[in-house]
A and B are shown apart, each in its own frame.
Chain A
Amino acid sequence: MDLAAVLPQVFTGLVLGMIFVLLAIGLSLIFGLMTVVNFAHGSLYMLGAYFTVFLLAYTKSFWVALVVAPILVGGLGFAIERLLIRRLYGRGPDDPLLLTFGLSLVLIETAKLIWGKIGLTLDPPRALAGAVDLGFMAFPLYRLFVIAVTIVVLIGLWAFVNRTNVGLIIRAGSRDPLMVRALGVDLNRIWLLVFGVGCGLAGLAGALAGPMRGAYADMGVTMIIESFVVVVVGGMGSLLGAVVAGIMMGQVVGLTTLFAPKLAEIMVFVVMAVVLLIRPSGIFGEAGLAE
């Protein structure tokens, strides 16, 4: 297979990977600090897409929608943490998992009640419509935009976690919450923030995916499974792992589709199985944590 065929595939796979990264990094952030497996993440991704449709209809501006939709989803994340999950701290990881699983069902059914069982479509803004010639292929401008936004968000997130005081507390909190509390830090506020930001990233993924895939109530159901695969492969709680595994999974799907389209969905799980056999805690996971 020559390079001319593989290069376009690598590029399309990169976009798939970016959506995985945004979802997985939110999941990983929440798990790393709070050991909460957020099953509602897929539904929040779905809400991000629906909010974008809704905001686009009211404000007529995609840019406003792209900024506001993730903030709304993040706000919902704050509410979920404050009103529901907070009450389950100290009960082990199963209870929040069951809670968020139930919540995801509630959100999906609510979306069906509000927006109907038939999906909605939305278009990328005029400025990002059409394709650009990359030399080896014509690539949709909007998909390049998705790559760019994801990179900017990742840099911002990296700076936030590694270069700010709050980030320092987050890193410390995920290592040893008890010691951080002993030093007089109110971890509840940090957890609230992290959960909200994680959910907001899911909302952003949905908002970015909307113009490519449309908005429909079940859109998060398959994505959440694949995102968990990404988190597990990257290593539970590792942000770098989520980024690397997300991009890797995008490439696995893209390249498998080129050679054997029927296997594209299964390959993701095959890769997970292989990685876990070699490194039980994932590529960048710490040994002993959620193996």
Chain B
Amino acid sequence: MKSITRRSFLATGAAAAGVTATQGFFPAVLRAQSDPIRIGFPLPLTGPFAALAADQQRGAQLAQDELNAKGGIMGRKVEVLFRDDQLKPAVGAQRTKELIENEKVQFVVGGLAAHVQMAINEQTKKSKVLFISVSQSDEISAKPDTSPITFHEALNPTITSRVMGKWTCDNLGKKWWIIYADYAWGKQNNMVLADTLKANGGTLLGSTPYPLGSAEFSAHLPKIQAAKPDVLMSVTPGADNIAFLKQARSFGMDKQMKLAQPLVWISYLKEGGPELYQDVYGATNWYWELQDSIPTAKKYVEASMKKFNMPPGDYGAYAYSAVLEVARGVELAKSTDSFAVADALRKSPTYDHFKGKQWWRTCDNKSFQDLWIMKGRGPGKTKGEWGLVDIVARVPADEKYDRTCAEKGFA
């Protein structure tokens, strides 16, 4: 009898553990007042992109607070609902479906991996809900995946890798090795980087895929060392970036070649520390020290310092901007109808929330924005806790960096 009790206890415990593991813990944010405008926000709060997701969450919260402090959107309160997509496309689609059907969100902002945001987009298209994607992907703003109610706030691999690739060719060297995460975003970057290198007269010595979420890179490194490239271009997103740089440095590769990557992320700069990122080059959509030159940036950084005691990061900035764009669209359209909001945004495509002028290209709903090339400052040269990189170049927004409307399938 005793053992049966224990067994049923264990079974209940295991079931409970399973439920918390799959569903996560989310407080109900329901409030009994005039129906608020609700924005669903799926993002990978667990997994190798967790630090970036936390940044996004802060950015969206900041936008929500700012909007509500101003009296909401059309007098209605704004609520952003976050859900963990675990960096899995199927989970992302499921969470999005739940947000739309159960939580009745009118809009969806979010996604932090190329493959997951495609799954989210499939769901929002099906439910006819406006979606602003806030992470990198080439397909999200191209046919056949995009739609009139799919917007893309973030940079994409084409823009980032064309800009960073060209700059690297001009400034660091023309003999490269590329190592890239073997999934949508990594493959897209690898392709664009290789094309850009070729167009600039450079030589690609080799290109190595590795599975996303790896913690072990050592088996890839001797081959790269033997090839002696000028530049090791690493497309290693999220936590992989730290593991990769650490192991490359432990093999002494930082002394043999320049280390560059399409993107650097402040979340991982902070976690990895100045020593790890010393003299590592990469592009970014946003860095808080821009407040020295851009007045709206100063306001944004101060708000973030006040609420979170840390400056906003790159992916947080995408989320912040996208939530504000939903609000702007609703105000312009005077409606929460997704198609009306989308039309309104295309009709007045220019906006400037925190880092200078941005605009939506009307053919593909793609946002165009400035980007910056950064270099790790290294120990002893950092400014405060978060001043980890130097801005070495500003690249003004230009539609020529992306594929043309025709190339993306818009006749």
Contacts and interface: CB of A to CB of B under 8 A. Distances in A.
B228 to A, nearest CB: 12
A106 B252 contact: no
Contacts of B28: none
Contacts of B47: 117, 218
Q: How large is the interface on A (under 10, 10 to 19, 20 to 34, 35 or more residues)?
A: 35 or more
Interface in B203-259: 208-211, 215-216, 218-223, 225-226, 239, 242-243, 246-247, 250-252
B211 A265 contact: yes
Contact of A8 (B10, B226, B252): B226
A189 interface: no
Given A121-B246, A214-B239, A258-B223, A12 B218 contact: yes
Given A15-B218, A118-B54, A212-B216, A105 B251 contact: no
Interface stretch (B17-25, B111-119, B138-146, B291-299): B17-25
A131 B218 contact: no
A139 interface: yes
Given A118-B54, A139-B251, A12 B17 contact: no
A119 interface: yes
Nearest to B221: A12
B17 to A, nearest CB: 5
Contacts of B21: 105, 109
A125 interface: no
B252 A131 contact: yes
Contact of A261 (B18, B208, B222, B273): B208
A257 B218 CA distance: 10
B272 interface: yes
Contacts of A98: 14
A253 B18 contact: no
Contacts of B48: 119, 216
Given A117-B50, A213-B215, A262-B209, A137 B222 contact: yes
Contacts of A212: 215-216, 218, 246-247, 250
Contact of B6 (A87, A112, A118, A216): A87
A106 B54 CA distance: 23
A73 B223 CA distance: 37
Contacts of B223: 5, 8-9, 258
B98 interface: no
Contacts of B242: 119, 121, 214
A264 interface: yes
A261 B14 contact: no
B214 to A, nearest CB: 9
Contacts of B356: none
A105 to B, nearest CB: 5
Contact of B252 (A4, A87, A138, A219): A138
A13 B250 contact: no
Contacts of B18: 105
A94 B110 CA distance: 42
A16 B217 CA distance: 10
Name B's interface SS. Answer: helix
A272 interface: no
A138 B251 contact: yes
Contacts of B54: 118
A109 B218 contact: no
Nearest to A132: B252
Interface in A49-81: none
A102 interface: yes
A276 to B, nearest CB: 24
A258 B226 CA distance: 12
Contacts, number: 114
B183 to A, nearest CB: 12
A227 to B, nearest CB: 14
A121 B271 contact: yes
B190 to A, nearest CB: 12
B50 A143 contact: no
B13 interface: yes
Interface in B1-44: 3, 6, 10, 13-14, 17-18, 20-21
Contacts of B182: 262
B271 A118 contact: yes
A254 interface: yes
Nearest to A138: B252
A143 B47 CA distance: 26
A140 interface: yes
Nearest to B54: A118
Contacts of B200: none
A271 interface: no
B169 to A, nearest CB: 25
A258 B210 CA distance: 12
Given A119-B239, A143-B250, A12 B14 contact: no
A156 interface: no
A48 B105 CA distance: 43
B388 interface: no
A36 B46 CA distance: 31
A4 to B, nearest CB: 7
B356 to A, nearest CB: 30
Contact of A253 (B6, B14, B17, B219): B219
A131 B14 contact: no
B193 interface: no
B38 to A, nearest CB: 24
25 contacts: A5-B222, A8-B222, A8-B225, A11-B222, A16-B216, A105-B18, A116-B50, A117-B46, A117-B50, A118-B51, A118-B271, A119-B48, A119-B239, A119-B242, A124-B250, A131-B252, A138-B251, A140-B250, A143-B250, A213-B215, A213-B216, A219-B215, A254-B219, A258-B223, A265-B211
Interface of A: 4-5, 8-9, 11-13, 15-16, 87, 98-99, 102, 105-106, 109, 112, 116-119, 121, 123-124, 129-131, 137-140, 142-143, 212-214, 216-219, 253-254, 257-258, 261-262, 264-265
Give 8 closest A-B pairs by Cβ, nearest first: A8-B222, A213-B215, A257-B219, A140-B250, A131-B252, A117-B50, A12-B218, A138-B252
Given A12-B219, A213-B243, 7 more contacts: A5-B226, A105-B21, A121-B272, A140-B252, A219-B215, A258-B222, A258-B223
